Amino acid sequence: MNAAAGSLRGGELAEAMVTEAPTGAAASRASIVDVAQRAGVSVATVSRALRDMPNVSKATRDRVLRAAQELQYAASPLASGLVTGRVRSVGVVLPYAGRWFFAEVIRGIEEALRDHGYDLVLHVVSDAQRRADFFESLPVRRRVDAILVVALPLEDHERDILRGLGLPLAAVAEPIKGLHGEFVDNDATARLAVQHLVNLGHTRIASIGGDLHGPERFSVPGLRTGGFRAAMAEAGLTVRPEWEVDGRFTAAGGELAMTALLSQKGGRPTGVFCQSDEMAFGALKALRRSGLRVPEDVSLVGVDDHELSDVFDVTTIAQPVVAQGAAAARWVVSRLERTADPDAPDDEVCLHPVRLVLRGSTGPAPTEH
């Protein structure tokens, strides 16, 4: 063993022994010991300099970085994990991956993690069996440094399992007791949408939302329906139970729900609050197929500000979807890098602002219907 390696201890020895599989011949021979010899410092100093740790002068750090660059040295993720106790990956657990909302949240998470040198490990628990397998086997164990739960309501025992890992945990879109959260105020979101219709003179207002009694127990449909009912009550308007329809938060579901509303006896609504833009797209299709004009006969307002909302000219309540994912990612990174306020609670809830975006799908209530 040469002199540079003689002072290795613990994780430093691990980092010296394991190097990333490089592309060049020079890089394939380079190790942290070689970098230490080239820079004229100890392996421990190289390790601290490459991890940008304190107690290394700028001149020494520059010399180490220059030596590492000349040797095309790259510390392996495994070795870095042995040294730091981290693998620089964050797990993301969610029920769907292909739907627009989830894809946008993932985009925000991935961009924020990449900015801080972390990778994303995705786990989609799209049915009961996959969900049970995930919480039974915990594939994230030893593979990630933190976990983000996206729009997935957890049972108490599932939450306890994740908390038992001792990792930073955060939730996006779906509140989870005891976890840091990044959300919008769904009650206020619904109130803003309904108030817009009320301000336009609509009194016959329906809601297309989600299943309030399903086994998955998502909170968003209930919160938005609660906001719808509260806004109607404040305006002195009656909520007709048959005008609260499940649209399954999909375009196809929105089309079926709007068709059902138009098929009921006792007249049709003149204003419809769609709890997602995708359901509004489907409702718009059903209205046009029925020969009804938007907004002259029926006004529609959605939620999200989907990228196609402008194309379909849908008035909506915009929420910052990408920003919620990015904020959650930055929060767990701040915990991992110890840059967060140590006195800040781990279960803090951060509410993101929403705003009304006026487009052509809403207008004054018709005088006859």
With the CA atoms of 353, 356, 357 and 358 taken in that order, what torsion angle do they form, in degrees rounded to the nearest 10?
A: -170
pLDDT of residue 197: 98
Ranges of the chain whose pLDDT falls below 70: 1-29, 51-54, 74-86, 214-216, 368-369
pLDDT of residue 52: 64
pLDDT of residue 12: 41
Cα–Cα distance for residue pair 133/131, rounded to 1 Å: 5
185: number of Cβ within 10 Å: 16
Task: List, in order of start, the domains of the chain with CATH numbers.
Answer: 3-84 (1.10.260.40), 89-184+321-352 (3.40.50.2300), 186-319 (3.40.50.2300)
C-beta separation of 39 from 67 below 8 A: yes
Task: Enter the pTM of the model.
Answer: 0.77
DSSP letter (8 states) at residue 219:
H
With the CA atoms of 170, 171, 177 and 183 taken in that order, what torsion angle do they form, in degrees rounded to the nearest 10?
A: 120
pLDDT of residue 72: 79
**Residue 91's closest CA among 351, 328, 339?**
328
334 half-sphere exposure, CB direction, 13 A CA radius: 16
Report H helices in the chain.
3-6, 10-17, 25-29, 32-39, 43-50, 58-70, 77-84, 100-115, 128-137, 156-163, 186-199, 219-234, 251-263, 277-289, 321-336
pLDDT of residue 9: 43
Q: Can you spell out the DSSP letters for 48-117?
A: HHHTT-SS--HHHHHHHHHHHHHTT--B-HHHHHHHHS--SEEEEEES-SSSHHHHHHHHHHHHHHHHTT
In tens, the pLDDT along 23-34 reads 444 334 677 888
